[in-house]
């Protein structure tokens, strides 16, 4: 159910965390610029963007380490903008999740609970529960240096969850892990967060990590949200060139609108004619870009007369990636197009360097981008 708020935004009544026009200035620099966001209880939300776009600053304001220059933060209906960090029911796991090296796993997890004066039996119970949650029960007596990177990461998570925060903030939680371990830990982490049901805002500059872990993603640039949506929405319907390019691989073509009907439109680019299966209500002649993902392009050997959604090229390079092969196909204009082909058949590899090919795609494959 939605109701209009005072500023005209439609917001879910179930909003658990509300970021209301939050801005942070450091002198001349606007690190975070008028962010509006509602997050539901139990949601895993990712802030995704390149270095310096304001991700950590926004997270630090949620934690209370940095006061906003303007705007408000509400948690479970309560305005917490002016609460100091230790009075917020929030825990933040930092970019480098330093554990106390001289303390055992058990004592690392118990640390915050002892500081809060929780009684010994209750602490033992909570730590035991947390150890089981992150599957480290046999490791309770070890010191951090006696654990693998992934295990240390889980201790840090257990420590962050021990006080049962209402909101968990994760700043690049897996940055210290190598690729393979990071991928496995992403899934473990999501499963733990879901079990606990904690609401989570995480920061990452790794788009695959955001897509694997988050219910929704905000792509940030220069302190603002460029686009906000589920991983599928952001990948399949990027609204800007930046988002299209930032999330996964994409081929971008520039052209102008030549046909615009209710059920289709056509965009003429130097490389060919794009026939697209929906109208866009644009001005004829206006400039648009078309984004086409490499996996949505079909490739076949031979030469035919080019047509709408059909262009000719020559294989100029290929990378065998195991599960798929990526081809660089050069067009007459010398422009290169990336095409990926799934290696479903172990021995199929008909597109040698220099082969003449035709590229084609469905009229649902391209995305029209106005900016």
Tell me how far, at minimum, the Cβ of 51 lies from ligand ATP, in Å.
3
Query: Applying CB under 5 A, does 289 fall inside the site for Mg ion?
Result: no
Tell me how far, at minimum, the Cβ of 123 lies from ligand ATP, in Å.
34
Choices 53-61, 102-110, 112-120, 145-153; region in contact with ligand ATP by CB under 6 A:
53-61
Show the 3-state SS of 63-115.
HCCCCCCEEEEEECCEECCCCCHHHCCEEEECCCCCCCCCCCHHHHHHHHHHH
Query: Applying CB under 5 A, does 57 fall inside the site for Mg ion?
Result: no
Please give the size of the binding site for ligand ATP, defined by CB under 6 A: 12
Query: Applying CB under 6 A, does 31 fall inside the site for ligand ATP?
Result: yes
Q: Which of 18, 57, 153, 289 binds ligand ATP (CB under 6 A)?
A: 57
Query: Applying CB under 5 A, does 91 fall inside the site for Mg ion?
Result: no
Choices 45-53, 154-162, 266-274, 321-329; region in contact with ligand ATP by CB under 6 A:
45-53
Tell me how far, at minimum, the Cβ of 68 lies from ligand ATP, in Å.
13
**Cβ–Cβ under 8 Å, residues 253 and 265:** no
| Full DSSP string of 216-254 | EEEEEETTEEEEEE-HHHHHHS--SHHHHHHSS--EEEE
Choices 47-55, 67-75, 176-184, 313-321; region in contact with ligand ATP by CB under 6 A:
47-55
121 forms bridges with which residues in the sheet? Answer: none
Report which secondary-structure segment, H or E, holds 156: helix 149-161
Q: How are the residues of the chain apportioned to helix, strand and coil, as percentages rounded to the nearest 5? A: 25, 35, 40
Choices 25-33, 123-131, 231-239, 343-351; region in contact with ligand ATP by CB under 6 A:
25-33
**Cβ–Cβ under 8 Å, residues 310 and 359:** yes
Cα–Cα distance, 361 to 371 (Å, whole number): 23
Angle, helices 149-161 vs 120-133, to 10°: value is 140
Nearer to Mg ion, 54 or 272 (CB): 54
Q: Which of 44, 54, 157, 331 binds ligand ATP (CB under 6 A)?
A: 54
Q: Give the interface with ligand ATP as residue ranges (CB under 6 A).
A: 26, 29, 31, 49, 51-57, 205
């Amino acid at each position: 159910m939605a109701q209009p708020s005072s500023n005209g935004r439609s917001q879910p009544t179930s909003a658990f965390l509300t970021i209301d026009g939050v801005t942070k200035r450091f002198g001349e620099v606007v690190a975070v610029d008028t962010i509006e966001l509602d997050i539901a209880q139990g949601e895993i939300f990712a802030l995704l963007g390149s270095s310096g776009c304001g991700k950590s600053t926004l997270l630090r304001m949620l934690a209370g380490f940095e006061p906003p220059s303007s705007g408000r933060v509400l948690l479970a209906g309560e305005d917490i903008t002016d609460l100091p960090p230790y009075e917020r029911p929030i825990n933040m796991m930092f970019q480098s999740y330093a554990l106390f090296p001289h303390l055992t796993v058990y004592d690392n997890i118990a640390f915050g609970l002892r500081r809060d004066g929780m009684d010994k039996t209750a602490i033992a119970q909570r730590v035991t529960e947390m150890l089981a949650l992150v599957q480290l029960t046999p490791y309770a007596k070890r010191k951090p240096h006696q654990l693998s990177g992934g295990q240390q990461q889980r201790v840090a998570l257990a420590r962050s969850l021990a006080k049962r925060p209402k909101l968990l903030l994760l700043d690049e939680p897996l940055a210290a892990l190598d690729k393979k371990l990071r991928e496995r830990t992403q899934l473990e982490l999501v499963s733990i967060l879901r079990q606990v049901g904690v609401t989570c805002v995480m920061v990452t500059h790794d788009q695959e990590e955001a897509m694997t872990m988050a219910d929704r993603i905000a792509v940030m640039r220069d302190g603002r949200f460029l686009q906000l949506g589920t991983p599928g929405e952001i990948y399949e319907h990027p609204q800007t060139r930046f988002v299209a390019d930032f999330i996964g691989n994409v081929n971008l073509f520039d052209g102008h609108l030549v046909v615009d009907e209710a059920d289709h439109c056509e965009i003429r680019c130097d490389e060919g004619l794009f026939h697209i299966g929906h109208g866009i209500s644009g001005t004829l002649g206006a400039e648009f870009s078309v984004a086409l993902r490499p996996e949505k392009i079909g490739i076949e050997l031979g030469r035919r007369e080019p047509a709408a959604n059909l262009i000719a090229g020559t294989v100029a390079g290929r990378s065998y990636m195991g599960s798929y092969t990526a081809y660089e196909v050069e067009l007459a204009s010398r422009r290169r197009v990336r095409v990926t082909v799934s290696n479903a058949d172990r021995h199929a590899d008909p597109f040698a360097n220099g082969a003449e090919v035709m590229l084609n795609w469905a009229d649902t494959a391209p995305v029209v981008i106005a900016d």
